[in-house]
Chain A
Amino acid sequence: MHIENYLNVIDACRFCFMCRHLDPVGNVTFREADTPRGRALMCDRIRMDAANLSNPDYIDAFYRSALSAANRFHCVSDYDETGLVLAVRRDIVEADLAPAAVKALAKTLEKDAFSVKGKGNALYFGPTPELYKGCAVITGGDPGKALAVLGFEAASKKVFARFKKAVTDSGCKTLIVAEPSAFEFLHDRLPDVKVIHSAAYFVEQGMNKTGSRKAVYLESDFLKNYCGNPSAPRDLLKQLGYKLVPFGTNVEESYAVGEGAVVYDTLYPTLAERLCQRVYDLAEGLGKTRFITASQTVKDTLKKYNPAFDVITLEEAVALSQD
């Protein structure tokens, strides 16, 4: 079983309470099963008796996790509870125990194919190609990250192989990725290609300050908790003239409304709405402050449950500066 690669995590987390305050789902459901300790206890039961893998209550709890990795980021010993949940999802899938909704979503994701348009030294992958003059553009769906997160490792590899072939065939040696989940997935998988996040690309280009406006930068789970918290998004916003104001009560919690689980709103819309509500509630009192996120998915989710919520992506912030 894949969870056997995480026995140290099970041993460490099953009786540890030290990061429970940072689980975004636990903070809106209040359930013990929605904490790293709760999930590690369930994995421990599975470790003791594999028959527990088929427990539907356990399976639902594992898929409910938002995988924000805020807990791992907080842990003084970096125990990888996020990795443990991904591992048990792989075990669930390989035992053909994935919930029907997860299987159906995986079937859709498996069909993702990729094509490259245009020519250039760099290849752009994201929703706003018009911002990247002189770059070729790769289009398609998710490059395999969503399938990997759902536990469909083999299918993920197949989709990624298609993505990789398209990149290789383009001849480009630089790949600019906008969506943080895709960036996290791709940044060390293409050995012959330099993979950079779009924020870093723009910072390198140098942006003109086009005014001064208060904004909240909603930290990305993937950039902050998975990729070492690069400064590029904040540097970019400063270059654009935004004055960043703190959000929430602390810098540890994830307010990324399920970003770490990639397809969270598709599988758990009720919980995603609650995660959004927490952001809306905390945003009260900030007046007309604009919210800026690195993730199109996060923006779409926040807009879905409150269309009036003023949130744009980093790329849209760049686009506004060019209007």
Chain B
Amino acid sequence: MTPKNYLYEMIRSELTWVVGDEYVQANEADNLGHSIDYYWVPECWHDRGERPTPPDLVVYPGNTQEVAAILKIANTHNIPVTPWGGGSGSQGGALPIYGGIVLDMKRMNKVIEIDPVTMCVTAEAGINAQHLEWEVEKAGFSTMHLPASISCATLGGFIAHRGTGVLSTKYGKIEDMIMSLEVVTPTGEIINTLPVPRHASGPSLTELFLGSEGTLGVVTKAVMKIHPIPAARKFHAYLFETMHDAMVAGSQLMISRMRPAVIRLYDEASTARVIKRVLNIDRKGAYLVFGFDGPEKIVDLEMEEACKICERTSKEDLGTEAGQSWWKNRYKFFYPPYMFQLPQAFGTLDTVATFANIENVYWAMKNVVKENFPQAAFIGHFSHWYDWGCMLYARFIIEEPPQDPNEAVALYNRIWDMAIRAAIREGGVINEHHGVGLKLGRIMRDLYGPAFNVLESLKKVLDPNNIMNPGKMGFPGKGV
């Protein structure tokens, strides 16, 4: 859209009739915030004085019907619509790269019902996840979805890119927590998925929208499981000579079918750099922490058994205090100055793989970075564990990337491309919880092979005018 022409004003008028004057914004203060998410590239562009693409209009719907009406208007005028939750995604998924409408969902922030019988909460998708957790806690429960981004992301944002919380190893990823969804399709129809997540009534429509990153519709409401507050939650940490020794212990915890709430394993470089800085634990080796929660007697028994497993390959028992300290400081890693920040270039090479492949994935990525980008440091930790494998939270860091933004972004993209393709060759999947967005869209066809045609066909059927978040997740853009 070109601002200040007749068509632009007509569209703005139509949108204000739906949501009211106040909830259609086109000012520079808001546009700046909406042109930059947590993706390093727009941050770098901003840092170097460039201007990332702003939306033409930011619209704040107050209910599902308004979302439907907005999408119908967007279809009529063939305008791109980019849903925006907390804006804290790291893959550029919420960036309005073709301008158009940013559909800021934060106004849809109500908890509709907490059902203590079924143990679920129904909430609008724009609710801030910490606000949701606080409301659920006040009722005596927890969502147990406690990621580092809890303070900034929305429920819809987590659904959009299949988010994962710190306690995922026991309580699951967001897709394990969601019972059902209300969705507005790209053409403006309001649909509900089936009320229970396990059934034999055909494929799961809920699953279709989980992880669709706003490309297949707008999630407006969700029913999410809640849990009792556990009587006890305890942690313990060990130091291992090598990351491999720690991986043996971590995988044993899982394949012996124990149910830790969390396991986190830091490689040697991460232990030296991050654990030292944040937790003040200065050791050589690989730091591993795990925790259990539930009734205290059961927790104590599980802790005892888990400690026995770790003691087989560990070199030092760091005790419960070093474990509790990690839990207490679990979000500190993500605050400045503990989090990496510009002028550094950094990326989280989120990959998930089976236990058979995960270490190969780690070494493949590490070697690619080391051999091709000697200016980059590589660190990693393994943060979400399943009974078949785990997630690798690998990071590259360049202390002094090129000043020229185009050069810097080119280098950044090259590292991503080489590292992720190396991971895929070793059986890794991009990715576990950050999503695809703009950053990794080009890799989706290679990752899926011919199966990507299925996803593309679904996109075409659901979104015939390609208005929903075009250019993301490997789907076509709008043309530049």
Residues of chain A whose beta carbon lies under 8 Å from any beta carbon of chain B: 11-22, 27, 30-33, 35, 37-38, 41-42, 44-45, 48-49, 55, 57-58, 60-61, 75-77, 79, 249-250
> Would you call A41 and B336 a contact (CB within 8 A)?
no
Query: Contact: B43 with A30, CB < 8 Å?
Result: no
Interface size class of B (residues with CB under 8 A): 35 or more
B319 to chain A, nearest CB (A): 24
If the complex has contacts A11-B341, A21-B128, A30-B107, are A57 and B60 also in contact, measured as CB distance less than 8 A? no
Q: Please, could you name 27 A-B residue pairs with CB atoms under 8 Å apart, sorted by A?
A: A11-B342, A13-B336, A15-B342, A16-B336, A17-B88, A17-B152, A18-B152, A18-B335, A20-B86, A20-B128, A20-B152, A21-B128, A30-B104, A30-B106, A31-B33, A32-B32, A32-B33, A32-B34, A33-B29, A33-B33, A41-B36, A55-B28, A55-B29, A57-B28, A76-B338, A77-B335, A249-B138
The answer on a CB contact under 8 Å between A79 and B33 is no
List of A residues within 8 angstroms of B60 by Cβ: 30
**Which of A15, A19, A38, A79 sits near B29, CB closer than 8 Å?**
A38
Q: Bound state CA distance, A75 and B339, in angstroms?
A: 13
Chain B residues with CB under 8 Å of A13's CB are: 336
* Chain A residues within 8 Å of B152, by CB: 17-18, 20-21
Contact residue among B28, B104, B135, B335 (Cβ-Cβ distance under 8 Å from A249) = B135
Whether A41 contacts B342 by the Cβ 8 Å rule is no
Q: Are B131 and A249 in contact (CB-based, < 8 A)?
A: yes
Nearest A residue to B153 via CB reads A17
B149 to chain A, nearest CB (A): 7
Q: Are B30 and A16 in contact (CB under 8 A)?
A: no
Give, as a whole number of angstroms, the nearest-CB distance from B45 to chain A. Answer: 12
Summed over the interface, the residue pairs from A and B with CB atoms below 8 Å come to a total of 105
B336 touches A77 (CB 8 A): yes
Does B334 reach chain A (CB closer than 8 Å)? Answer: yes
Residue of A nearest to B105 (CB): A30
**Chain A binding site: helix, strand, loop or mixed by DSSP?**
helix
Which B residues between 325 and 367 are near A, CB-CB below 8 angstroms?
A: 331-332, 334-339, 341-342
CA distance A163 to B230 in the complex (A): 55
Report chain B residues within 8 Å CB of A76. Answer: 331-332, 335, 338
Q: For residue B336, which residues in chain A have a CB less than 8 angstroms away from its CB?
A: 11-13, 16, 77, 79
Chain B residues with CB under 8 A of A45: 32
Task: Give the chain A neighbours of B134 by CB distance below 8 A.
Answer: 249-250
* B43 x A15 contact (CB < 8 A): yes
- Report yes or no: A32 in contact with B28, Cβ–Cβ below 8 A: no
Q: Are B135 and A41 in contact (CB under 8 A)?
A: no
A123 to B135, CA, bound (A): 44
Would you call B137 and A249 a contact (CB within 8 A)? yes
Which of B32, B128, B331, B334 is within 8 Å of A33, CB to CB? B32
Give the distance to chain B from A136, nearest Cβ to Cβ, in Å. Answer: 46
B278 to chain A, nearest CB (A): 10
Complex CA gap A239/B151 in Å reads: 36
B130 within 8 A of partner (CB)? yes
Q: Beyond A48-B49, A77-B335, is A12–B341 a contact (Cβ under 8 Å)?
A: yes
B88 contacts which chain A residues (CB < 8 A)?
A: 17
Q: Mark B7-32, 1 if CB is under 8 A from A, else 0.
A: 00000000000000000010111101
The reply to whether B337 and A12 contact each other, CB–CB distance below 8 Å, is: yes
A18 adjacent to B334 (CB under 8 Å): yes
- CB-CB under 8 A from B107, the residues of chain A are 30
A245 to chain B, nearest CB (A): 12
Contacts of A49 in B (CB 8 A): 49
Do B337 and A58 touch (CB < 8 A)?
Answer: no
Shortest CB-to-CB span from A13 to chain B, Å, is: 8
- Find out whether the CB atom of A42 lies under 8 angstroms from the CB atom of B32: yes
A65–B137 CA distance with the chains assembled, in angstroms:
29
Give, as a whole number of angstroms, the nearest-CB distance from B189 to chain A: 25
* In contact, B25 and A15 (Cβ under 8 angstroms): no
CB-based nearest B residue for A246: B138
CB neighbours of A77 from chain B (8 A): 335-338
Chain B 152-171, CB-CB to A under 8 Å as 1, else 0, gives: 11000000000000000000
Given contacts A15-B36, A15-B38, A17-B149, contact A31 B30 (CB under 8 A): yes
